[in-house]
Amino acid sequence: MRLRATTEHGAAPSAKPAGLFSGEYAAPATAFTALTVLTGISGLAVVPTLPVAVRALDGLWLYPLVAGAFVGAALLGGVAGGAWSDRSGPGRPLAAGLALAVTTLVVSGTAVTVWQLAAGRFLDGLAAGMIVVSTNAAIGRTFPDRLRARALALMSVCWIVPALACPPLAGLVASWWSWRWVFLGLAALTVLPGLAVIVLLRRLPRPDRPDEQSGAEGPGLAVALAVSVGAGLGQYALSGRGAAHLACGAAALVVIGAFVRRMLPPGTWRAATGLPATVLLTGLAAGTFFTLETMVPLMLNLDGTVPPALAGLAFTGSAVAWGASSWAQSRWLAERPRHLLVASGAVLLVVANGAAAVAMASGLPAWIPAVSLTLAAIGMGATMPTLTVLSLAHAPSGRTGYAGAAMATSQNLGQVGILALGSGLLGTTPADAGELARFGPALGVLVVPSLLIVILAGRVRVARTS
């Protein structure tokens, strides 16, 4: 059954507008919620298990490639899912992505070599890219503008419980039985809920006819594959400073520089008003937060005064803060101009990164950056879902998949690029500055992209919102 393209303007004046889980929106909202929870459970349980699996397969030397394969594949999966969504509707790529996600758990869980595990992580990234981009495209097609922010906020909230429960449970399973049971157990637990989700996905609306005059021509899969390989090489280059790492870093710059322009909307690098600026700001925000999130555990590990429990609470707190902030802005700040929400969230990123940088440069304890991570997560909860809503508003007619793929590409490249910048500064800071003080410049540079978001937020404004 096709969902009607209704809005609150089509209802009787006295009728209460339908909510996320009422009327014709109930089935897709349930499907998106279940899909996000299943994705979150798999992702957050697998990541802490990877080092154990790589060590058991005698492949520690290949760990950067195993970890980086996911990011590179997610770029390719995002482009494939976006193009498929625009052509056939988001239901099919979502179902295919979910089926592939279960398959990749089996591939990884039965790995007999580290190369098979790397292949499993590549397939997992491919599935995740398809699911994320197709879900955003489906939300844009299914819900009216007044419900899109709430739907995206719900997707953020769906990660809270997996973030709280999955890492420790995965650790217990790997310790008591085997790391293989983390992968294979997740596959078994996902099959039946996955089949139910696929049935619900059949009710998603069919695609609009793409606007052929929009000029929004998505990149081909060959271009996406090239950039995916470049991103994977960049991830590997960040893991060391040997000749091989330098060569991979140089190759990544060449490949990404040659092809990435074809994966982003024209005008992205100059922050042209509309979708280009929205895509650029997404990459800046994602890269800033991901770099802070990557450096905090290292700082806590170097600071012997920080108990392990506090280190874990830093990430639990950030997950809860992100979800709560996202939900709050969708419920109580929905009537505010959305570009102001983006700017407000970026201000919190500026404060968080600035405070962390000053604390480390001044020799203060590492728990201050841990608290800053939670503050930054509050800012991200306001910024990222709002940018996604704006990308749907700016997307050319019938091209929500194209817009979603561009957002995913920018997010992944922002993570790789800004992390590379921060890591480079960390590596060039004199060792006599002190272990923790060396993080000051690396964290301080994160203030720059955060400020750029504040300055450029006006360029993501839409002419009229519901």
The 10s digit of each residue's pLDDT in 134-160 is 888 888 777 887 787 788 888 877 877
Q: How far is 405 from 296, CA to CA, in rounded Å?
A: 29
What amino acid is encoded at 418 in this protein? I
pLDDT of the residue at 6: 38
How many percent of the chain have pLDDT more than 70? 82
| DSSP tag of 159 | T
Q: Give the tokens for residue 9.
A: 């303007």
Any idea which residue has 């059949």 for tokens?
Answer: 202
What amino acid is encoded at 151 in this protein? A
DSSP letter string, 163-204: HHHHHHHHHHHHHHT-HHHHHHHHHHHHHHHHHHHHHHHTTS
Question: Which of 283, 284, 417, 294 has its CA nearest to residue 356?
Answer: 294
pLDDT of the residue at 320: 83
User: Please, which residues have CB within 8 angstroms of residue 227's CB and are 6 or more apart in sequence?
Assistant: 75, 255, 256, 259, 260, 263, 409, 413
pLDDT > 70? residue 130: yes
Decide: helix, strand or coil at residue 449: helix
Q: How far is 188 from 173, CA to CA, in rounded Å?
A: 15
Rounded (10°) CA dihedral 62, 68, 74, 76: -70
Q: Give the tokens for residue 103.
A: 């398959």
Q: How far is 417 from 413, CA to CA, in rounded Å?
A: 6
Rounded (10°) CA dihedral 336, 340, 345, 347: -140
- Residue 2: pLDDT band (50, 70, 90) is very low
Give the number of residues written for the chain: 466
Question: Which of 349, 36, 69, 90 has its CA nearest to residue 201?
Answer: 90
In contact, 402 and 391? CB cutoff 8 Å: no
Decide: helix, strand or coil at residue 399: coil
Rg (the chain; Cα; Å): 21
What amino acid is encoded at 58 in this protein? D
DSSP letter string, 301-336: HH-TTS-HHHHHHHHHHHHHHHHHHHHHHHHHSTTS
Any idea which residue has 């803060």 for tokens?
Answer: 321
Give the tens place of pLDDT for each residue, 174-199: 778 888 988 888 888 888 888 887 77
| DSSP tag of 366 | T
pLDDT of the residue at 14: 44
pLDDT > 70? residue 1: no
What pTM was computed for the model?
Answer: 0.76
The separation between the first and the last C-alpha atoms of the chain, rounded to the nearest angstrom, is 26
* pLDDT average, residue stretch 338-366: 89
How many percent of the chain have pLDDT more than 90? 15
Give the tens place of pLDDT for each residue, 10-40: 444 445 566 677 777 787 888 888 888 888 8
Farthest-apart Cα atoms in the chain, separation: 71
Q: How far is 128 from 40, CA to CA, in rounded Å?
A: 10
Q: Give the tokens for residue 176.
A: 């008591």
- Residue 219: pLDDT band (50, 70, 90) is low
Q: List for the chain the helix, strand, coil content (%; round to 5).
A: 80, 0, 20
Task: Kindly state the helix (H) or strand (E) to which residue 225 belongs, with its residue range.
Answer: helix 221-237
| DSSP tag of 206 | P
